[in-house]
Amino acid sequence: MENFYQSMLFNIKKHPFLKNTFINFTRYIPVITFIIYPVVIIYLFFTNNPLLLETIIRPCIAFTVVTIFRKIINRKRPYEAMDIEPLIKHKQGESFPSRHTVSAFAIAFACLKVSLPLGIVMLLLAITVSLSRILCGVHYISDVISAIVIAFIIGFINI
């Protein structure tokens, strides 16, 4: 795994455009996601849509579950456990599961129920968030996959 991260980060750092692209994706795609989400909630509120409560609650549950897992497991991040330097600065510990990923996917799954085209756009943004977390060296692939699974389960179980 260490060779994978070393090689990946070395190749990314060799190409300034690629490096800046991944850094910007990591910084700004979550912002776009978290701007769209309240707009959807406001829309649902003003249209008296019955999905309003579910659209608020499911992402909150996913975020809370992952936050608790992270505190309990407190897995080191790839740059703490291996000889690599991430593309971005990040706090240490609590790598598993990825909170950015679970939030982006939980919001995307909620948006899918509101509007298929919007949901597809949000899923693409969530995939971008997930990949950028790995490519910047701040999460393991398993951190991201577990977050997607948690978001899916919480997004689609019957309450």
Is the pTM value of this prediction over 0.85? Answer: yes
Per-residue HEC secondary structure of 61-89 comes to: HHHHHHHHHHHHHCCCCHHHHCCCCCCCC
Q: How many domains does the chain have?
A: 1
Please check whether residue 118 lies inside any domain of the structure: yes
C-alpha to C-alpha distance for 25 and 130, rounded to whole angstroms: 10
Tokens of 57: 């609650």
Please check whether residue 129 lies inside any domain of the structure: yes
Q: What is the pLDDT of residue 158?
A: 81
Q: What angle do CA 28, 82, 5 make, to 5 degrees?
A: 55
> pLDDT 10s per residue in the chain (159 long)?
899 999 999 999 999 999 999 999 999 999 999 999 999 999 999 999 999 999 999 999 999 999 999 999 999 999 999 999 999 988 999 999 999 999 999 999 999 999 999 999 999 999 999 999 999 999 999 999 999 999 999 999 986
Please check whether residue 64 lies inside any domain of the structure: yes
Please check whether residue 134 lies inside any domain of the structure: yes
Q: What is the pLDDT of residue 1?
A: 87
Q: Could you give the angle at which helices 16-46 and 99-114 cross, rounded to 10 degrees?
A: 50
Contact between residue 150 and residue 62 where contact means Cβ atoms under 8 Å apart: yes
**Domain containing 65: what range?**
22-156
Q: What is the pLDDT of residue 12?
A: 96
Please check whether residue 17 lies inside any domain of the structure: no
Cβ density class 91-106: b for 16+ within 10 Å, e for less: eeebbbbbbbbbbbbb
Q: What is the pLDDT of residue 159?
A: 62
Beta carbons within 10 angstroms of residue 36's beta carbon: 17
Please check whether residue 7 lies inside any domain of the structure: no
R_g of the chain, CA atoms, integer Å: 16
Please check whether residue 35 lies inside any domain of the structure: yes
Please check whether residue 6 lies inside any domain of the structure: no
C-alpha to C-alpha distance for 19 and 96, rounded to whole angstroms: 24
